[in-house]
Amino acid sequence: MERALLSNVIATSDWCANQLLPRISPSFLSRHRHTRFTVAKPAYFSYKRLSVFLAMDASKAAPAKQVSSVLDATAEEEYASLSKLLQDFTNISSIDKAWTFNSGNGNGTQAMFSISQPNLLANKRKKFMLSTVISKENENSVTFQWAPFPVEMTGASAVVPSPSGSKLLVVRNPENESPIQFELWSQSQLEKEFHVPQTVHGSVYADGWFEGISWNSDETLIAYVAEEPSPSKPTFSLGSTKGGSSDKDCNSWKGQGDWEEDWGETYAGKRQPSLFVININSGEVQAVKGIPKSLSVGQVVWAPLNEGLHQYLVFVGWSSETRKLGIKYCYNRPCALYAVRVSLYKSEASELELKESSSEDLPVVNLTESISSAFFPRFSPDGKFLVFLSAKSSVDSGAHSATDSLHRIDWPTDGNFSSLEKIVDVIPVVQCAEGDCFPGLYSSSILSNPWLSDGCTMLLSSIWGSSQVIISVNVSSGELLRITPAESNFSWSLLTLDGDNIIAVSSSPVDVPQVKYGYFVGKANKGTWSWLNVSSPISRCPEKVKSLLSSRQFSIMKIPVKGVSANLTKVYLRGSLGFGEEALQSLPGKVGSQDVNDVLTAIDHVIDMGLANPSKVTVVGGSHGGFLTTHLIGQAPDKFVAAAARNPLCNLALMVGTTDIPDWCYVESYGSKGKDSFTESPSVEDLTRFHSKSPISHISKVKTPTIFLLGAQDLRVPVSNGLQYARALREKGVETKVIVFPNDVHGIERPQSDFESFLNIGLWFKKYCK
């Protein structure tokens, strides 16, 4: 197994992130799929959101006491010190997106960065925009001239520049039944503002999954995904309306109407994602017709303009003819690319306008019928082909996130889809990677414009082993290159392109995010990519944080696992992304045994190397990492001095009837064959197997003091799972602490909850690592 070796790490996240900050408070990734083993002094392993802290130095803290309303002077001082340190780490900004624009005067490029930061007092994440001018003075030097201050984007749900960079769309979703606001900005002012009432549609989706906002080529129309209008509800009355009560009948009320399925975790109460187009000249909004009611739509893009006055929209559709299973972090939900025609006409000003058409005139075409998954559609610059990702391996196996593949369709520019040619595999699924070779594609997003100037090379971020890297892919030849430094153990995220140059961000468990500028040196096929550090105010942090991190270091370790098949002898992190499909698919059906043994093997290895004190090992994990945490303290009861679990899965037999992903219980328990045996009414045999795979089956052996952090609104692993396990521990006399956050979902992401959660974890570990 590959692990990262650290020295004296202060704190870390239990979520395995490609931009992992050395902080207690985590950034919960959109794809939620990174897995990493790490060792530190104090050290940690991270396996599917699991962290095992291995302390070397004796704690200098006074005998810790559980934090309560009454604290002695020493404990109160320690609490305040940890709280201040955690605030310093929490205040480090995250870089979310970036865009570049031509300056118009030939003097460099203008860029805009979207950054965010937790606001503990407001209990929200603040969003900012920070502008800069990029000047590439020579081949080995680039200058970013940053604006003196960022601008807060209060209330902005989405920000999308037009293709030319001359306009900026800002969408503001209300927190009540007020209209949705569409603002159109030029370089100097607000040009137009439209308010779309809830009777037309609900909030615009800006979640990174169903989200899709796309400008057409002449920048007059914008396609987007929003909640369908609220259905009418029945009215119940006790009598006739009295005079003088015309505004509201005091003798009647609105009923609830029929219950409708939603897409589970984080989508509770949100209505069906539907497709709309707005004319930015008139403000007219139309629902796109012809899309079956059974399809939830997302990720819409305009197809290249063809001859005539017909233009197509391409979107991703998820069918929901039966139950909608949870979709957040679940790439195993079947989906396809569809094309729908939008009829246009030329106005007197020779601008394209929307034309009313019946749904019968606009049939929807399934472009990817031969493959079970297709998403993130992107057209080549010349419009000749359409490229997309597929999670076919996830759909076919039932694993929530498996090895991706990349595909291409030659686009029929005449609109004749009957002549659509077969899907071309650009990057197939890699079953088993040898050594440090390409392990397969693991990509959580694609830039809206990922293309280099040759028109056929696109750039992607992808997990490669224990890190995230940036790769280039020629979609015509299939040639693939890793363009971030091979010797770097940092994780890299692609932000945007500056012509044929790259703006990215890199980080590590002991390094805050750093902006990087990449450029190609040499001739095509014979050159290399070079990277420059960019001085940025975004990466600045308090001196105490700098001082603490400057003495820390990390590296990657390989720890052989016993009992693997001959094909997996060189695969060290079974069940994780970044090591090939065979290694990943080895885990379903073996959860609670293979993963537990791998973690214990890694712990023993670093203890044998003298890197960890066996009397000071603690474990923390969330979600499936919480599943591993509670398994570990049951199967290795003498290994850990303390444990912490955030929304842990402790009992599959209980979870299967309450979660938004009951199919997962079958796949994890039975392997890929569980996908076909999934039913909403599990048998006695199923429930028995679920129990045997669960941490609760080992609870009689647990003696590790454990703290539980639970989100009361969690639909993925409902709060009853953690509470049942915690109550069982208390019943048998194990010291237990439970904190329930009433308004948090699975990720416990609200800033105040996240802060309180990790502060208490830190105090809990200090108490038992004395």
In whole angstroms, what is the distance from residue 93 CA to residue 113 CA? 12
Q: Strand 109-119 to strand 94-102: parallel, antiparallel, or no bridges (unpaired)?
A: antiparallel
The reply to whether 32 belongs to the active site is no
**Residue 698 in 3-state DSSP?**
helix
Expressed in angstroms, the distance from the first to the final Cα of the chain is 30
> Does residue 38 contact residue 44 with C-beta atoms inside 8 Å?
yes
In whole angstroms, what is the distance from residue 151 CA to residue 148 CA? 10
Residue 104 burial (C-beta neighbours within 10 Å; 0-12, 13-18, 19+): exposed
> Nearest 5°: CA angle at 586, between 581 and 587?
115
User: How would DSSP label each residue in 292-324?
Assistant: -TTEEEEEEEEPPP-SSSEEEEEEEEEE-SS--
Element (H, E) at 719: helix 719-731
Which candidate, 489, 620, 617, 704, places its Cα nearest to that of 12? 620
- Alpha helices per DSSP H over 205-285: none
Choosing from 96, 201, 746, 753, the catalytic residue is: 746
Choosing from 506, 623, 694, 757, the catalytic residue is: 623
In whole angstroms, what is the distance from residue 604 CA to residue 639 CA? 10
* 691: amino acid identity, one letter: H
Give the E-state strand segments of 499-623 in sequence order. 501-508, 511-521, 528-533, 554-558, 617-622
Residue owning tokens 């997996």: 568
CA 324 remoteness from chain centre: 20
Q: Strand 235-237 to strand 221-227: parallel, antiparallel, or no bridges (unpaired)?
A: unpaired
Mark 557-575 as b/e (b = at least 16 C-beta within 10 Å).
Answer: bebebeebeeebebbbbbb
> Does residue 574 contact residue 602 with C-beta atoms inside 8 Å?
no
In whole angstroms, what is the distance from residue 28 CA to residue 16 CA? 9
In whole angstroms, what is the distance from residue 570 CA to residue 435 CA? 7
> How many H-runs (helices) and E-runs (strands) does the chain carry?
12, 39
- Alpha helices per DSSP H over 60-194: 73-90
The reply to whether 714 belongs to the active site is yes
> Does residue 408 contact residue 475 with C-beta atoms inside 8 Å?
yes
Residue 17, C-beta contacts closer than 8 angstroms, at least 6 positions apart? 26, 27, 29, 34, 491
CB atoms within 10 A of CB 464: 26
**Residue 161 in 3-state DSSP?**
strand
In whole angstroms, what is the distance from residue 97 CA to residue 446 CA? 12
The reply to whether 88 belongs to the active site is no
CA atoms within 13 A on the CB side of 580: 19
In whole angstroms, what is the distance from residue 472 CA to residue 446 CA? 12
Choosing from 14, 262, 511, 714, the catalytic residue is: 714
> Does residue 668 contact residue 623 with C-beta atoms inside 8 Å?
no
Secondary structure of 367-419 as H, E, C letters: CCCCCCCCEEEEECCCCCEEEEEECHHHHHHCCCCCCEEEEEEECCCCCCHHH
DSSP letter at 421?
A: P
In whole angstroms, what is the distance from residue 413 CA to residue 4 CA? 49
Reported residue count of the chain is 770
Two structure tokens written together for 661: 């992903």
Element (H, E) at 529: strand 528-533
Residue owning tokens 């002991």: 510
User: How would DSSP label each residue in 723-761?
Assistant: HHHHHHHHHTT--EEEEEETT--TT--SHHHHHHHHHHH
So which residues are the catalytic ones?
623, 714, 746
